[in-house]
Structure 1
Amino acid sequence: MKIGILGFGSVGQKLAKLFADAGHEVSIGLRNNADAQNNSAYRFGSFAEVAANVDALALAIPYKASLDALNNLASALEDKIIIDNTNPLNDDWSPLLLGQENSAGETIQAALPKSHVVKAFNTIFADVMQKEAHSRNGQNITAFIAGNNDEAKNTVMELAQAVGFSPLDTGDISSSRYLEAMAHLNIRIAVPLGGGTNAAFLYHQA
């Protein structure tokens, strides 16, 4: 599968390596091509160039920036999968609350009605987005997945499993409200309370 990633920060770099190691062709969308830093492992291009030439597009830039970028890419992303890794946060990582009747995932889906938005990986810190950190006491970290289109959701679940996570279907895109709240809790424990970012959720079915 051809997978594009918008952004090449810590999350973008980790996702790119996971996807490439699983055999996928990875392209990185950048605002400034100088950010490629002579990295030959992936293809680099503008947001528009990458969006036009992939089967799925993962968001590894902040939520507000994602909305701005996607508004200009809607036609190129028709019928494509959007892997929404975003959380509605302020610049200081504090929650940007959207209310109990909305979420970043739903807002992105509404902005791209002809695309298939799948919430995924938003509860997982970059520090544990690597194969050697995926297992906790023999159980893989859970990747919670939500989306309206079952085929797109199944594709992302298969991708999550291929890169070492344990995928869990949480229903349609409205479940983003709960997944984003989980991410806010994770951040609260990790940063203000000092728990650190080498931690993740495990959903254990007895």
Structure 2
Amino acid sequence: MKIGILGTGNIGKTLVRELSEAGHEVKVANSRGPETIERELLSSGARAVTTAEALADVEVVILSIPLNRIPDVAAQVVALPEDTVVIDTSNYYPFRDDRIEAIESGQVESLWVAEQLGRPIAKAWNAIGSASLAKKGKPAGTAGRIAIPIAADRARDREVTMALVNDTGVDAFDAGTLADSWRQQPGAPVYCTDLTFKEVGPALQSAERYRLAKRRDLSVAIIQERLGDGTTNPDEDWGVRLVRAINM
């Protein structure tokens, strides 16, 4: 497929590599310009382009940018053809994104994103740590393969997103609609806990919405105390142990 990826953070970089290696035609852009994108990231065939070029003539757009920067690209994304699949990977973290009153008042993060963009989206790759996505991917059918939830309202969005997730070395679990995607937000039992396909369903069902923000903020506080700033991602083992202890 023809895919445009916005963002070259830890998740974005892995998606560029994995989807390129899977044979997709990938263009990648960041906010600083194509000349700042590492050449190594393009070794599997992806092309560094501007944001406008990344959104042009593609079937799928993946937004791998902080949630508070979603409004910055809204005007360009809303102009995409209706059948373009837009996948958002973001999560709300108040210490980074500033306080968003609608989400604080209970709006589901994915619905807030769709509202900002003015179009349907799918939600994927938000519930796996960047280190796990980069290091723990396995071929389909491998025992113990990690599974992650995806949410979407449109059938095409769901079908395409699930196929692409599987191309990145993890199983895709259909978690339902965007309205239900609070079950995969930070603080939920499925969030960054590296579960298998059989484990994801029960974890989604066990989520308790009123506990999510408290658990999310507790994880951040511990990471800040241990790693210094809260923006450094924990490794794939320590981070999983931490969130399993807090979220499950």
Give the structure-1-normalised TM-score: 0.81
Residue 20 of structure 1: aligned partner: 20
Which is further off, 157-166 or 120-129? 157-166
1:8 equivalenced with 2:46 (yes/no) = no
Higher relative contact order (CA 8 A, sep 6+): 1
Q: 1:134 aligns with which of 137, 146, 154?
A: 137
Residue 34 of structure 1: aligned partner: 35
Shift of 1:118: 0.5
- Are the structure 2 counterparts of residues 69 and 170 from structure 1 closer, same or farther at C-alpha, using a change threshold of 3 Å? same
Equivalent-residue separation in structure 1 for 2:222 and 2:78 (angstroms): 37
**Structure richer in helix, relative to its length:** 2
- Which is greater in Rg? 2
Equivalent-residue separation in structure 1 for 2:221 and 2:143 (angstroms): 26
Equivalent-residue separation in structure 2 for 1:95 and 1:197 (angstroms): 27
Task: Give the secondary-structure state (helix, strand or coil) at the position aligned to 1:27.
Answer: strand
Equivalent-residue separation in structure 1 for 2:172 and 2:95 (angstroms): 29
**Percent identity at matched positions?**
22
Instruction: List per-residue Cα deviations over 1:136-194 (Å, max 9, x = no partner).
Output: x9311121010100121011112112222121111111122221133475785476166
Aligned residues of 1:100 and 1:177 also touching (Cα < 8 A): no
Aligned residues of 1:190 and 1:197 also touching (Cα < 8 A): no
Aligned residue type for 1:192: I
**Structure richer in strand, relative to its length:** 1
Residue 192 of structure 1: aligned partner: 222
Aligned residues of 2:71 and 2:117 also touching (Cα < 8 A): no
Task: Give the secondary-structure state (helix, strand or coil) at the position aligned to 1:69.
Answer: helix
Equivalent-residue separation in structure 2 for 1:100 and 1:153 (angstroms): 27
- Are the structure 2 counterparts of residues 75 and 56 from structure 1 closer, same or farther at C-alpha, using a change threshold of 3 Å? same
5+ long unaligned stretches in structure 2: 192-212, 228-233
Residue 55 of structure 2: aligned partner: 51
Paired positions, count: 199
Which is further off, 142-151 or 179-188? 179-188
Alignment of 1:159-198 (within 5 A): 159-181=164-186, 182=188, 183=191, 185=215, 188-189=218-219, 192=222, 196-198=234-236
Instruction: List per-residue Cα deviations over 1:43-71 (Å, max 9, x = no partner).
Output: 12221211122111111110111222123
Aligned residue type for 2:65: I
Aligned residues of 2:4 and 2:62 also touching (Cα < 8 A): yes
Equivalent-residue separation in structure 1 for 2:137 and 2:217 (angstroms): 18
RMSD over aligned CA atoms reads 3.0
